[in-house]
Amino acid sequence: MSSGASRSAERAWPALLDAAANARAGRPHQAIAPGRTTAAQELVALHQPLIDRMADGPLTLGQLGQSLDGRIATAGGDSYYVTGEANRTHLHRLRALVDAVVVGTGTVLHDDPQLTVRACVGDHPVRVVIDSRGQLTPDHRLFQDGQAPTLAYRGANADRALGLAEVAALEVGADGYDPEALLADLHARGLRHVLVEGGGVTVSRFLAAGLLDRLHVCIAPLIIGSGRAAVSLPEIARLSDARRPSMRSFAMPPDTLFDCDLRG
């Protein structure tokens, strides 16, 4: 995106935040892009379905930034950075739209992320960590920085504090935790609109359980060749059993974003 186009998209972003606030309040929620530039129109086109969904009920959105060969990180967990600056801004906009952003243990261990909104205007979401084996320690940034409320679901050690985070007990069976029960608990806490941000294991778990309304997959023009998988689901025997969601694509130079409608 040129810097002019990026400025134009930036001007459209507050209109989308207003539309999202209207959707939450049950008011008309069609965003109107200021001006007539393609970048502003595209920004509205990309986000309006998310806002429409927020008006109808809870939104659960997954996202992944992957290489051409479907990797989100090297085998050792290095993911800085698979996708470019435009996708980073997009990710921060998604955070600003939702009530909560969910990540798995692997992401906290490898990235020590902040999960806050820094690349655009907007409020920080509640940060939710799924620590199903109770192996995280209080020294991670999001447990210490106090920048946003943080909730850690722990399958073990739920009686141990994780810095400033609220700790909730997570039931873990032979097949791991139940993402549907976790989502229901978030909803019960008033966290209705949720971004499952990563990593691949966590997004795949919500996808396999049929819980994602949409999935944003951003494909970057690099080949990692090995490493951590983006989506991994149980094997299917026939291609006719593959999911073929309706899809829109958006240029996010140097990457391409695929917006998959999993309810369509």
Ligand X SMILES: NC(=O)c1ccc[n+]([C@@H]2O[C@H](COP(=O)([O-])OP(=O)(O)OC[C@H]3O[C@@H](n4cnc5c(N)ncnc54)[C@H](OP(=O)(O)O)[C@@H]3O)[C@@H](O)[C@H]2O)c1
Of the pair 40, 201, the CB lying nearest ligand X is at 201
Q: Which stretch binds ligand X (CB under 6 A): 6-14, 141-149, 199-207, 256-264?
A: 199-207
Q: Which one of residues 14, 58, 106, 245 is an interface residue with ligand X (CB under 6 A)? A: 106
Number of residues that bind ligand X (CB under 6 A): 26
For residues 17-36, which are near ligand X according to CB under 6 A? none
CB 202, min distance to ligand X, A: 3
Q: Could you write out the DSSP letters of every residue in 177-196?
A: E-HHHHHHHHHHTT--SEEE
Q: How far is CA 118 from CA 8, 123, 200, in A?
A: 18, 9, 23
CB 229, min distance to ligand X, A: 7
**SS3 annotation, 115-147:** CCCCCCCCCCCEEEEEECCCCCCCCCHHHHCCC
d(CA 247, CA 244): 8
Q: Which stretch binds ligand X (CB under 6 A): 7-15, 40-48, 106-114, 256-264?
A: 106-114
CB 168, min distance to ligand X, A: 15
Q: Which one of residues 200, 212, 213, 255 is an interface residue with ligand X (CB under 6 A)? A: 200
DSSP code of residue 241: G
Query: Which residues, in sequence order, are CB contacts of 225 under 8 Å at separation 6+?
Result: 69, 71
Instruction: By CB under 6 A, tell whether 228 contacts ligand X.
Output: yes
Look up residue 100 and give its amino acid.
A
For residues 108-167, which are near ligand X according to CB under 6 A? 109-111, 131-133, 135
Q: Which one of residues 29, 102, 198, 206 is an interface residue with ligand X (CB under 6 A)? A: 198
Instruction: By CB under 6 A, tell whether 199 contacts ligand X.
Output: yes
Look up residue 133 and give its amino acid.
R
Helix (H) or strand (E) holding 90: helix 85-97
CB 91, min distance to ligand X, A: 8
Of the pair 15, 220, the CB lying nearest ligand X is at 220
CB 220, min distance to ligand X, A: 9
Q: Which one of residues 15, 86, 201, 207 is an interface residue with ligand X (CB under 6 A)? A: 201
Query: Which residues, in sequence order, are CB contacts of 237 under 8 Å at separation 6+?
Result: none
Instruction: By CB under 6 A, tell whether 11 contacts ligand X.
Output: no
- Is the Cβ–Cβ distance between 245 and 233 less than 8 Å? no
For residues 44-103, which are near ligand X according to CB under 6 A? 64-65, 72-73, 77, 79, 82, 103
Q: Which residue is associated with the tokens 């801004």?
A: 89
Q: How far is CA 28 from CA 24, 31, 47, 164, in A?
A: 10, 9, 15, 38
CB 238, min distance to ligand X, A: 26
Question: Contact positions toward ligand X, by CB under 6 A?
Answer: 64-65, 72-73, 77, 79, 82, 103-107, 109-111, 131-133, 135, 197-202, 228
